Chains A and B, each alone.
Chain A
Amino acid sequence: MDAFSMGLIAAMGALATVAGASEDIESDVGSQSNPNSQVQLAAQVGNPHRIYNKAISGEPPANALWAATAAMVAYTLITAFQMPALFALVAGASVAALFNGVFAISAYFGRNSSQRRFNQWVYLDIVRYTTPSIMAHAWITSFCIATISYIMVYMLPIHHPFPMPIIALIWGLAVGAIGSSVGDIHYGGEREFQNRQFGCGLNTMLSGQIVRKAEAGLRNSIDNAWFCTKFGGPATGMGFGLTVFLDNWRTTVFDPVTQASLAIAMGIFFIIVEVFYNLYIEKSARRKYGPYPEYKGDIAA
């Protein structure tokens, strides 16, 4: 381990944190994730809305596509055209953002026009205002992930054997999985249903009754992104940043050639710490919030 590779690991952690946050905001502003089931349902139960709707694929495969596209273009420009790495990564991310724009617009048109019988409109102003924001977030995500792959393949002391596009594909899958497991709960569990009682999940009876009015006027997806940036996005960033940082930190601090078992033991230590942190959160939530007053059973709290 030397100071330079430690700096690279820190940079990778920072890039991953930004990538996680922008991935979650991208999925919130485009409404592409599990909570979109409620957006889709809203029109069908008589609540037409102005929320963007581009969930024609799960987040992990979609982000894997964008990250791998960015890395593949960058890799081609670096190896075949000897371009500077930073320029190639920017060009790769731009191509990925274009792919994302095509995906988002065609998904929005397809999804909303298929709900014509439920009185759901296709709003062209929503397409004009929201799509560039979605593309911008996809650009940040794919740039950060392609850069992480570049650092892993070309700059760390032990070069990763996989080529850049495959590493980007795997990190893209991982960031999508984390974004849809972490940040989406803030969007689906809280933002979509701010009109119901706080402190519990969505009651099944309220399915599809999403909030459609904003602080001023009708709510659109830019409003949702504003809200989710406050907690859901940064938490997703922390999740992905922890994954990338801890996983690479242990194999950089401990040389995999001579100290492989120490690197593995350090990983197990991190996992045990996470179990106890989760137990602490569970205990404190139970203590602070207490049981639900509606509970009528005979099991003591």
Chain B
Amino acid sequence: MNFDINTIVYILEILVGGLLVGIGVHFVPVGGAPAAMAQATGIGTGTVQLAAGSGLTGLLAAGLMMSVTDNLWLILASGAVGAGIMIGSTMLTGSWIYAYAVGAPFASAKVNYDPITGFSQPPYVAPGTVGQGIPTICFVSGLIGGMMGGLGGAMIYYPLYLINGNAALSAMFAIGIFLVNAVLASWNIQGTIEGFHDPKFKKWPFAFRACAIASILLALAAVLITGGA
């Protein structure tokens, strides 16, 4: 393959996609194992797991859209919306369990009032826990994060598919680059975060730098390897 200006544009697109994934993970309200015991606010699973689940669902939607159109904006929007539907459905059904099976009201322990609805939070935090359930602020933050992940996944897939025209190869590389950035970001947030209102969210510049370095290296490898195939 020729290393021309287009190749540099492709590498930059993969870099932006990787950064979107890395920052998007910070928005997803994950409580890890404590949230599965209704001991912490957020979704009861790991950061990478949920980001990968939603972002890659977006990748499926983006791949379908890319097989019928070349319009970058439609492909990106399709990826974001596919991921948003997945993470929205997950948080909604999770809320059923918190409200109707555990029988607990939703509350965040990181803020006194929900910035969106204005509901007071501390009176609804169960004793011995740090909040439970998915309040509106976490839901909205999760949607933003999931959609950024889907957008990032589509952004990584798009240039790879243009380089080699092989959907399967591009999808596998996109999944790999996606997971590397998601794991780097989840180290930064140390397992649990409630969303953009969480004080931990301010640490995102560290993940930004790490993901930028990792994405550049991966983009170079991905472009050279899949382009040479």
Q: A residues engaging B (CB < 8 A)?
A: 33-35, 37-38, 58-60, 158-163, 166-167, 169-171, 173-174, 176-178, 180-190, 192-193, 198-206, 231-232, 235-236, 238-240, 242-243, 246-247, 251, 256-257, 260-261, 263-264, 267-268, 270-271, 274-275, 277-279, 281-282, 284-286, 289-292, 294-295, 297, 299-301
Query: Shortest Cβ distance from A284 into chain B, in angstroms?
Result: 7
Q: How far is the CA of A284 from the CA of B96 in the complex (A)?
A: 11
Contact of B168 among A162, A182, A271, A282 (CB under 8 A): A162
A291 x B97 contact (CB < 8 A): no
Q: Please state if B86 and A257 are interface contacts (CB–CB under 8 Å).
A: no
Q: With A35-B37, A256-B78, A264-B77 given, can you name 11 additional A-B contacts, CB distance below 8 Å?
A: A173-B56, A174-B86, A177-B54, A186-B101, A188-B36, A242-B89, A251-B61, A267-B81, A267-B82, A279-B139, A285-B99
The residues of A that contact B69 with a CB separation of less than 8 Å are: 256-257, 260
Give chain A residues whose Cβ lies under 8 Å from the Cβ of B92: 239, 242, 274, 277-278, 281
> Is B171 in contact with A162, judged by CB distance below 8 angstroms?
yes
B119 and A201 contact, CB distance less than 8 A: no
* Residues of chain B lying within 8 A (CB to CB) of residue A186: 97, 101-102
With an 8 A cutoff between CB atoms, is B154 at the interface?
no
Tell me if B50 counts as interface (CB < 8 A to partner A).
yes
Contact B106 A282 (CB under 8 A): yes
Pair B135/A282 contact, Cβ less than 8 Å: yes
Known contacts being A186-B101, A243-B86, A299-B122, is A238 close to B93, with CB within 8 Å?
A: yes
Q: Given A246-B85, A260-B69, A271-B88 in contact, is the A289-B53 Cβ separation under 8 Å?
A: no
Question: Chain B 111-124, CB within 8 Å of chain A: the 1/0 string?
Answer: 01100010111111
CB < 8 Å: which of A187, A190, A247 contacts B82? A247
Question: Are B97 and A231 neighbours in the complex by a CB distance under 8 Å?
Answer: yes
A199 touches B104 (CB 8 A): yes
- Please measure, in the bound complex, the distance between the C-alpha atom of A38 and the C-alpha atom of B38, giving whole angstroms: 13
Contact, CB under 8 Å: A192 / B95: no
Given contacts A174-B53, A177-B52, A278-B92, is CB(A201)–CB(B132) below 8 Å? yes
Q: Mark B53-71, 1 if CB is under 8 A from A, else 0.
A: 1101101110111111101
Contact A251/B74 with A201-B102, A292-B126 known, Cβ cut-off 8 Å: no
Q: Which residues 120-144 in B have Cβ within 8 Å of A in the complex? A: 120-129, 132-136, 139-140, 143
B67 lies within 8 A of A160 (CB): yes
Report A93 CB to chain B, min CB distance, Å: 21
- Among B66, B105, B128, the most chain A Cβ lie within 10 Å of the Cβ of B105
Shortest distance between the CB of A226 and any CB in chain B (Å): 15
Q: Smallest Cβ distance from B72 to chain A, in angstroms?
A: 12
Residues of A within 8 Å of B65, CB to CB, are 251, 256, 260
Q: Is the CB of A34 within 8 A of B120?
A: no
Task: Name the contact of B105 in the complex, choosing from A170, A177, A243, A285 (C-beta under 8 A).
Answer: A285
Q: Is the CB of B49 within 8 A of A176?
A: yes
Instruction: Say whether A292 contacts B125, CB under 8 Å.
Output: yes
- Residues of chain A within 8 A (CB-CB) of B44 are 34, 180-181, 184-185, 188-189
| Distance (whole angstroms) from the CB of B40 to the closest CB of chain A | 8
Residues A58 and B122 in contact, CB atoms below 8 Å apart: no
A-B contact count (CB 8 A): 308
Contacts of B175 in A (CB 8 A): 169-170
Interface flag for B172 (CB, 8 Å):
yes
Evaluate contact between B86 and A161: CB separation under 8 angstroms: no
Assembly CA distance A47 to B101 (angstroms)? 25
Question: Which residue, of A159, A177, A261, A277, has the highest number of chain B Cβ atoms within 10 A?
Answer: A177
* B167 at interface by CB-CB < 8 Å: yes
Residues from chain B with Cβ under 8 Å of A33 in the complex: 36
Query: Would A202 and B88 be within 8 Å (CB), given that A180-B44, A282-B95, A282-B106 are in contact?
Result: no
CA distance A162 to B62 in the complex (A): 11
Minimum Cβ distance to chain B for residue A6 (Å): 17
| Residues of chain B within 8 A of A297, CB atoms compared | 122-123
Q: Contact partner of B126 among A187, A200, A243, CB < 8 A?
A: A200
CA distance A279 to B143 in the complex (A): 14
Residues on the B chain within 8 Å of A247, using CB: 57, 60-61, 82, 85-86
Say yes or no: A189 contacts B101, CB within 8 Å. Answer: yes
8 contacts between A and B (CB under 8 A): A178-B93, A185-B36, A188-B36, A200-B104, A264-B78, A281-B92, A282-B135, A291-B105
In the complex the two chains form, is B50's CB within 8 Å of A181's CB? yes
* A-B complex: 4 closest residue pairs judged by Cβ atoms: A177-B53, A201-B38, A203-B128, A200-B126
Q: CB distance A34 to B45 under 8 Å?
A: yes
Q: A34-B45, A271-B81 are in contact. Are A278 and B136 (CB under 8 A)?
A: yes
Contact A289 B45 (CB under 8 A): no
Please report the C-alpha to C-alpha distance between residue A286 and residue B102 in the assembled complex, in whole angstroms: 13
**CB-defined contacts of B6 to chain A, threshold 8 Å:** none
